Amino acid sequence: MKRTAAQVWQRGLGGLLALVVAAVLLAGCGSGSSKPPAAQSSSTTSGSAAPSTTVHYTASVVAQAKVPSVAVFDTSTATTPYKTLPSPQPSGSPLVFLVQGGEGSRLHVLLPIRPNGSTGWIERNDVNLSQHDYRIVVALGARQITVYKGDAIFDQEPIGVGTKDTPTPGGTYYTKELYKPPNPNGPYGPYAYALSGYSDVLTDFEGGDGVIGIHGTNDPSAIGHDVSHGCIRMGNPGITKLAQTLPLGVPVEIDA
Protein backbone atom coordinates (compact mmCIF):
# COMPACT_ATOMS: atom_id res chain seq x y z
CA MET A 1 0.00 0.00 0.00
CA LYS A 2 1.61 3.27 -1.06
CA ARG A 3 1.71 6.13 1.49
CA THR A 4 2.90 9.73 1.22
CA ALA A 5 4.43 11.97 3.89
CA ALA A 6 2.78 12.88 7.18
CA GLN A 7 1.64 16.35 8.19
CA VAL A 8 2.22 16.90 11.91
CA TRP A 9 0.95 19.63 14.22
CA GLN A 10 0.23 20.26 17.92
CA ARG A 11 -3.30 20.41 19.41
CA GLY A 12 -5.25 19.72 22.63
CA LEU A 13 -4.20 17.97 25.85
CA GLY A 14 -0.61 18.90 25.12
CA GLY A 15 -0.48 15.83 22.87
CA LEU A 16 1.10 15.18 19.50
CA LEU A 17 -1.38 14.97 16.62
CA ALA A 18 -0.51 13.76 13.15
CA LEU A 19 -2.11 13.36 9.73
CA VAL A 20 -0.65 10.43 7.80
CA VAL A 21 -1.71 9.92 4.20
CA ALA A 22 -3.02 6.37 3.69
CA ALA A 23 -5.45 4.34 1.58
CA VAL A 24 -7.80 2.57 4.02
CA LEU A 25 -11.51 1.88 3.48
CA LEU A 26 -14.23 1.91 6.12
CA ALA A 27 -17.08 -0.59 5.85
CA GLY A 28 -19.98 0.93 3.91
CA CYS A 29 -18.74 4.48 4.37
CA GLY A 30 -19.97 5.65 1.00
CA SER A 31 -20.38 4.75 -2.62
CA GLY A 32 -17.72 4.95 -5.28
CA SER A 33 -14.00 4.46 -4.89
CA SER A 34 -12.91 7.47 -2.83
CA LYS A 35 -10.63 6.35 -0.01
CA PRO A 36 -10.03 8.45 3.11
CA PRO A 37 -6.27 8.87 3.19
CA ALA A 38 -5.05 10.78 6.24
CA ALA A 39 -4.78 9.41 9.74
CA GLN A 40 -4.45 11.28 13.03
CA SER A 41 -3.03 10.31 16.39
CA SER A 42 -2.51 11.85 19.80
CA SER A 43 -0.39 11.14 22.84
CA THR A 44 0.91 12.56 26.09
CA THR A 45 2.66 10.93 28.97
CA SER A 46 1.24 10.80 32.50
CA GLY A 47 2.23 8.70 35.56
CA SER A 48 2.15 4.92 35.80
CA ALA A 49 0.32 2.32 37.84
CA ALA A 50 2.05 1.33 41.06
CA PRO A 51 3.19 -2.31 41.21
CA SER A 52 0.71 -4.72 42.81
CA THR A 53 -1.99 -2.04 42.81
CA THR A 54 -5.26 -2.32 40.87
CA VAL A 55 -6.23 0.93 39.13
CA HIS A 56 -9.69 1.82 37.78
CA TYR A 57 -9.85 4.87 35.54
CA THR A 58 -12.92 7.11 35.79
CA ALA A 59 -11.86 9.41 32.94
CA SER A 60 -11.01 8.22 29.46
CA VAL A 61 -7.36 7.27 29.24
CA VAL A 62 -5.74 6.61 25.87
CA ALA A 63 -2.60 4.52 25.43
CA GLN A 64 -0.49 5.14 22.31
CA ALA A 65 2.18 2.65 21.36
CA LYS A 66 5.77 3.87 21.60
CA VAL A 67 7.30 0.58 20.44
CA PRO A 68 7.14 -1.04 16.98
CA SER A 69 5.08 -3.99 18.22
CA VAL A 70 2.79 -4.23 21.26
CA ALA A 71 2.42 -7.61 22.95
CA VAL A 72 -1.11 -8.46 24.09
CA PHE A 73 -1.67 -10.86 26.99
CA ASP A 74 -4.92 -12.57 27.97
CA THR A 75 -4.42 -11.90 31.71
CA SER A 76 -2.50 -9.44 33.86
CA THR A 77 -0.03 -12.15 34.87
CA ALA A 78 0.34 -14.22 31.69
CA THR A 79 3.96 -14.71 30.67
CA THR A 80 3.40 -15.32 26.96
CA PRO A 81 1.45 -12.93 24.68
CA TYR A 82 -1.32 -14.41 22.57
CA LYS A 83 -1.08 -11.64 19.98
CA THR A 84 1.14 -8.79 18.89
CA LEU A 85 -0.10 -5.63 17.18
CA PRO A 86 2.17 -3.50 14.99
CA SER A 87 2.65 0.23 15.28
CA PRO A 88 2.14 2.09 13.10
CA GLN A 89 -1.10 0.55 11.89
CA PRO A 90 -1.36 -0.47 8.22
CA SER A 91 -2.74 3.01 7.44
CA GLY A 92 0.36 4.65 8.85
CA SER A 93 -1.36 5.83 12.03
CA PRO A 94 0.21 4.96 15.41
CA LEU A 95 -1.59 2.27 17.37
CA VAL A 96 -3.93 3.49 20.14
CA PHE A 97 -5.97 1.70 22.81
CA LEU A 98 -8.74 2.77 25.17
CA VAL A 99 -7.64 1.91 28.71
CA GLN A 100 -10.13 0.05 30.92
CA GLY A 101 -7.96 -0.21 34.03
CA GLY A 102 -4.63 -1.49 35.24
CA GLU A 103 -2.92 -3.95 37.52
CA GLY A 104 0.75 -3.99 38.40
CA SER A 105 2.85 -3.13 35.37
CA ARG A 106 0.06 -3.85 32.88
CA LEU A 107 -2.94 -2.02 31.47
CA HIS A 108 -6.27 -3.59 30.59
CA VAL A 109 -7.31 -2.18 27.22
CA LEU A 110 -10.05 -2.38 24.62
CA LEU A 111 -8.54 -3.79 21.44
CA PRO A 112 -9.15 -2.66 17.83
CA ILE A 113 -9.61 -6.24 16.57
CA ARG A 114 -12.29 -8.80 15.87
CA PRO A 115 -14.43 -9.92 17.59
CA ASN A 116 -15.98 -6.64 18.70
CA GLY A 117 -15.48 -5.92 22.37
CA SER A 118 -12.17 -7.79 22.62
CA THR A 119 -9.91 -6.76 25.49
CA GLY A 120 -6.39 -7.67 26.56
CA TRP A 121 -3.48 -6.67 28.75
CA ILE A 122 -0.46 -4.69 27.56
CA GLU A 123 2.73 -3.51 29.24
CA ARG A 124 2.54 0.01 30.64
CA ASN A 125 6.10 0.68 29.47
CA ASP A 126 5.11 0.03 25.83
CA VAL A 127 2.80 3.06 25.64
CA ASN A 128 2.37 6.75 26.41
CA LEU A 129 -0.83 7.85 28.15
CA SER A 130 -3.15 10.80 27.61
CA GLN A 131 -6.47 11.69 29.24
CA HIS A 132 -9.63 13.46 28.08
CA ASP A 133 -13.31 13.85 29.03
CA TYR A 134 -15.07 13.34 25.68
CA ARG A 135 -17.47 10.51 24.84
CA ILE A 136 -19.84 9.74 21.99
CA VAL A 137 -23.27 8.11 22.27
CA VAL A 138 -25.02 6.85 19.12
CA ALA A 139 -28.74 6.04 19.33
CA LEU A 140 -29.49 3.90 16.29
CA GLY A 141 -33.26 3.86 16.80
CA ALA A 142 -33.43 7.64 17.07
CA ARG A 143 -30.71 8.03 14.38
CA GLN A 144 -28.92 10.55 16.55
CA ILE A 145 -25.36 11.15 17.71
CA THR A 146 -24.56 12.98 20.94
CA VAL A 147 -21.04 14.04 21.81
CA TYR A 148 -20.30 14.95 25.42
CA LYS A 149 -17.49 16.89 27.02
CA GLY A 150 -17.81 15.91 30.63
CA ASP A 151 -21.51 16.21 31.42
CA ALA A 152 -22.12 18.92 28.82
CA ILE A 153 -23.37 18.25 25.29
CA PHE A 154 -20.69 19.29 22.82
CA ASP A 155 -22.69 18.32 19.72
CA GLN A 156 -25.97 16.56 18.96
CA GLU A 157 -27.45 15.92 15.53
CA PRO A 158 -29.22 13.42 13.27
CA ILE A 159 -27.24 10.70 11.49
CA GLY A 160 -27.55 8.05 8.82
CA VAL A 161 -26.98 4.46 9.96
CA GLY A 162 -26.72 0.93 8.58
CA THR A 163 -29.51 -0.79 6.68
CA LYS A 164 -31.39 -3.87 7.82
CA ASP A 165 -29.06 -6.12 5.81
CA THR A 166 -25.86 -4.31 6.84
CA PRO A 167 -26.66 -2.91 10.29
CA THR A 168 -24.45 -0.73 12.42
CA PRO A 169 -23.29 -3.05 15.23
CA GLY A 170 -24.11 -2.03 18.79
CA GLY A 171 -21.44 -2.04 21.47
CA THR A 172 -18.63 0.00 22.99
CA TYR A 173 -15.81 1.11 20.70
CA TYR A 174 -13.38 4.00 20.40
CA THR A 175 -12.04 6.26 17.67
CA LYS A 176 -8.74 4.80 16.52
CA GLU A 177 -7.89 6.84 13.39
CA LEU A 178 -8.94 10.07 11.68
CA TYR A 179 -8.80 10.39 7.91
CA LYS A 180 -8.95 13.49 5.75
CA PRO A 181 -10.11 12.52 2.24
CA PRO A 182 -8.53 14.37 -0.69
CA ASN A 183 -11.99 15.43 -1.88
CA PRO A 184 -14.07 16.96 0.94
CA ASN A 185 -17.09 16.80 -1.35
CA GLY A 186 -16.80 13.04 -1.83
CA PRO A 187 -18.86 10.26 -0.20
CA TYR A 188 -16.87 10.45 3.08
CA GLY A 189 -17.17 14.20 3.42
CA PRO A 190 -14.22 16.21 4.78
CA TYR A 191 -13.31 13.76 7.60
CA ALA A 192 -13.82 10.12 8.56
CA TYR A 193 -13.12 8.41 11.88
CA ALA A 194 -12.28 4.71 11.91
CA LEU A 195 -13.62 2.96 15.01
CA SER A 196 -12.24 -0.07 16.83
CA GLY A 197 -15.29 -2.13 15.79
CA TYR A 198 -16.22 -4.11 12.70
CA SER A 199 -19.31 -4.98 10.72
CA ASP A 200 -21.07 -8.12 11.90
CA VAL A 201 -21.95 -9.11 8.32
CA LEU A 202 -19.11 -7.76 6.16
CA THR A 203 -15.62 -9.17 6.54
CA ASP A 204 -14.33 -7.02 3.69
CA PHE A 205 -15.53 -3.96 1.81
CA GLU A 206 -13.92 -2.72 -1.41
CA GLY A 207 -10.54 -3.99 -0.25
CA GLY A 208 -10.94 -3.03 3.42
CA ASP A 209 -11.61 -5.33 6.38
CA GLY A 210 -15.11 -4.18 7.30
CA VAL A 211 -14.15 -1.64 9.97
CA ILE A 212 -16.97 0.74 10.90
CA GLY A 213 -16.60 4.50 11.13
CA ILE A 214 -18.15 7.93 11.58
CA HIS A 215 -17.83 10.29 8.61
CA GLY A 216 -19.35 13.08 6.58
CA THR A 217 -21.33 12.69 3.37
CA ASN A 218 -21.94 14.22 -0.04
CA ASP A 219 -25.64 13.32 0.23
CA PRO A 220 -27.27 15.29 3.07
CA SER A 221 -30.66 13.77 2.17
CA ALA A 222 -29.40 10.42 3.54
CA ILE A 223 -29.10 11.83 7.06
CA GLY A 224 -31.85 10.47 9.30
CA HIS A 225 -32.24 7.24 7.32
CA ASP A 226 -30.93 3.65 7.22
CA VAL A 227 -28.59 4.00 4.29
CA SER A 228 -25.08 2.69 4.97
CA HIS A 229 -23.22 -0.61 5.10
CA GLY A 230 -22.67 -0.08 8.82
CA CYS A 231 -20.98 3.29 9.13
CA ILE A 232 -22.48 6.38 10.77
CA ARG A 233 -22.99 9.35 8.46
CA MET A 234 -23.01 12.90 9.83
CA GLY A 235 -23.46 16.28 8.24
CA ASN A 236 -20.16 17.78 7.08
CA PRO A 237 -20.24 20.73 9.55
CA GLY A 238 -20.71 18.27 12.42
CA ILE A 239 -17.89 15.88 11.49
CA THR A 240 -15.61 18.87 10.91
CA LYS A 241 -16.39 20.19 14.40
CA LEU A 242 -15.47 16.82 15.91
CA ALA A 243 -12.32 16.38 13.83
CA GLN A 244 -11.02 19.81 14.78
CA THR A 245 -11.55 19.28 18.51
CA LEU A 246 -11.61 15.66 19.68
CA PRO A 247 -8.48 13.60 20.35
CA LEU A 248 -8.31 9.97 19.31
CA GLY A 249 -9.38 7.31 21.79
CA VAL A 250 -12.83 8.76 22.41
CA PRO A 251 -15.24 6.04 23.62
CA VAL A 252 -18.19 5.45 21.30
CA GLU A 253 -21.25 3.75 22.77
CA ILE A 254 -23.58 2.50 20.02
CA ASP A 255 -27.00 1.69 21.43
CA ALA A 256 -28.64 -0.94 19.27
Q: Which residues are catalytic?
A: 215, 231
63 to 66, 123, 150, 153, 252: CA distances (angstroms):
9, 10, 20, 25, 16
Is residue 106 within 8 A of residue 126, CB to CB? The reply is: no
Is residue 177 within 8 A of residue 247, CB to CB? The reply is: no
Is residue 84 within 8 A of residue 90, CB to CB? The reply is: no
Is residue 1 within 8 A of residue 90, CB to CB? The reply is: yes
d(CA 209, CA 204): 4
d(CA 136, CA 131): 15
d(CA 120, CA 127): 14
Q: Is the peptide bond before 88 cis (omega within 30 degrees of 0)?
A: yes
